[in-house]
Structure 1
Amino acid sequence: MSNFKQDFDSLAGKTSLSDDVDRRTFLKAALGTGFAAAVMPVTAQTVIKTDTAGLTAGSLEIQANGLSVPAYRSQPEGKTNLPVVLVVSEIFGVHEHIADITRRFAKLGYLAIAPDLFVREGNPAAFASIPELYKNVISKVPDDQVLGDLDACVVWAKENGGNVDKLAITGFCWGGRITWLYASHNPKVKAAAAWYGSLVGEKSELMPKQAVEIAPSLKVPVLGLYGAKDQGITQDHVAQMKAALAKGNSKSEIVVYPNSGHAFNADYRPSYVEADAKDGWKRTLAWFKAHGVS
């Protein structure tokens, strides 16, 4: 953890990252390589480490609304016509764990892309606490901007070996909420898996809708994976979402793990629950396959 902070200071020159060139240089070097200070504490090392043998994997830039958006992508080397999965990070950005998830998908034959959806507002690695990170970055990110950046990733995938007729999305925490929203936004998505993404909450100009509001009109089947011990996303919230989904016909499902709290798939944090994380991963793959994304 301290080594990544030292790398950050070195790359950023301990100055502001407001300059586009310096920021892009930093992001290209840091994307998928470490953890933001705000994620403390972390375990000694991640539980799952996926190599790049047989893969084309690493950072790149995707053009979205006039900006080069950094992303980490993994795909089987030399293969085309690949099913595509968008991977949406937590508030901590595209760090080593998120990059590893793209590699896990790629080992199974997917083209997986995890974009830096905070690139315009700031870098999660620059903040030492979650409140600071939320105030300075996350609270300033418009939903419409995020959905547009994900659309750009789909365009890139179509041009680089992906079969976007087999399109899925998955996300974690902040990215879990975005997963619900993107499934509503893009009817071309065949399946989605939202890991402990928020379901209800206050609306704002930047966040005009919550997942529970789009649930009745949702067409894309979404698998929601939640922990019964999650103190932020309560079982009351889950019950509200189930009731809202029952009003529609998306055939979405929600699975609640009795022994887990929030972030039970985050294998670099103490919140990790191995049995439930493995079950959630298995269910996600089966969900995608059942809906034609494999």
Structure 2
Amino acid sequence: MTNAIVAGTVTISGHGGDQIEAYLARPLDGGSRGGVVVIHHMPGYDASTKEIVRRFAVEGYNALCPNLYAREAPGADPDDAAAAVRALGGVPDERLVGDVSGASVHLKGLDGANGKIGVIGYCSGGRHTFLAACSLPVDAAVDCYGAFVVEDPPEGMPKHMQPILHLAPNLSAPLLGLFGKDDRFPDQDSVAALDAELSKLDKPHEFHSYEGTGHSFFSVDRPAYRPEAAVDGWSKILDFFGTNLSA
């Protein structure tokens, strides 16, 4: 772990060359290090997500979270931005891939970058992580309770939130999946179906599901927070990135 970091808002080139806001945190000490793209959850580019970005910097990574809602609601309150984007159908898959690609390029251009990139996402960001890892060359991917990779979304979900299991043959990196056994989206049948498909394709992956735990168990500011699962999950994430993102 590092003793000092610097964090703040930057502008990166996202999908189609769009200039979008992103939150960057990086250690101040020297040395070679991997980069982590943090994909925010459906509630948006919020304070809790930025805290996760800073946590990765403390752990020794350059970390960057692109604001996926920057185009529709620049400078808006995260809740208002999320509502606006949801009403428009959510984030298009192609644009998500372009924004994550831009974030990866930005991280690789930082001083001391070792060229390796991990992607992690929560909630809708978990699905987006799987999408990104099946669409881009990355070195590690972590899906934290991402729904609608396998199952159809219920009525009322954004129109772009469609199943993407068919992309599994293109998965470019080892995948760590962290899930709650009491979650409805994804439920354990969906997790098992994804596990089976990746096993059939001989794609390296490691899934863990926690008892007495539902959705958003990493969210320290929500009633769904489950400390025991979150602490164990963080340990697994850091071990996984430590193995796959080292020089």
Would the aligned equivalents of 2:21 and 2:70 in 1 still touch at CA under 8 Å? yes
Mapped to 2, the partners of 1:191 and 1:102 lie a distance apart of 16
The CA deviation string for residues 139-160 of structure 1, in whole angstroms up to 9 with x for no partner, is: 2421111110111111111222
- Please give the root-mean-square deviation of Cα atoms over the aligned residues, in Å: 2.7
The CA deviation string for residues 33-57 of structure 1, in whole angstroms up to 9 with x for no partner, is: xxxxxxxxxxxxxxxxxxx961111
Superposition pairs of residues 1-294 of structure 1, within 5 angstroms: 54-64=4-14, 65-77=16-28, 79=30, 81-122=32-73, 125=77, 127=79, 132=83, 135-137=86-88, 139-161=89-111, 163=113, 165-187=115-137, 189-198=138-147, 199-202=149-152, 207=160, 210-293=163-246
How much has 1:210 moved relative to structure 2? 2.9
Mapped to 2, the partners of 1:129 and 1:167 lie a distance apart of 27
How much has 1:81 moved relative to structure 2? 3.1
Mapped to 2, the partners of 1:147 and 1:162 lie a distance apart of 25
How much has 1:250 moved relative to structure 2? 1.9
Mapped to 2, the partners of 1:200 and 1:282 lie a distance apart of 26
Q: Which residue identity does 1:287 align to in structure 2?
A: F
The CA deviation string for residues 63-109 of structure 1, in whole angstroms up to 9 with x for no partner, is: 22332210111001253532100001001222111111111111121
Comparing 213-222 and 241-250, the one that deviates more: 213-222
TM-score, with structure 1 as normaliser:
0.74
Give 5+ residue unaligned stretches, structure 1: 1-51
Mapped to 2, the partners of 1:58 and 1:89 lie a distance apart of 16
Superposition misfits of 4+ residues, deviation over 6 angstroms: none
Give 5+ residue unaligned stretches, structure 2: 154-158
Would the aligned equivalents of 2:39 and 2:65 in 1 still touch at CA under 8 Å? yes
Mapped to 2, the partners of 1:95 and 1:117 lie a distance apart of 11
Match of 2:156 in 1: none
Mapped to 1, the partners of 2:133 and 2:17 lie a distance apart of 24
Measured at CA, do residues 191 and 129 of structure 1 come closer, stay the same or move farther in structure 2, by a change above 3 Å? closer
How much has 1:162 moved relative to structure 2? 5.2
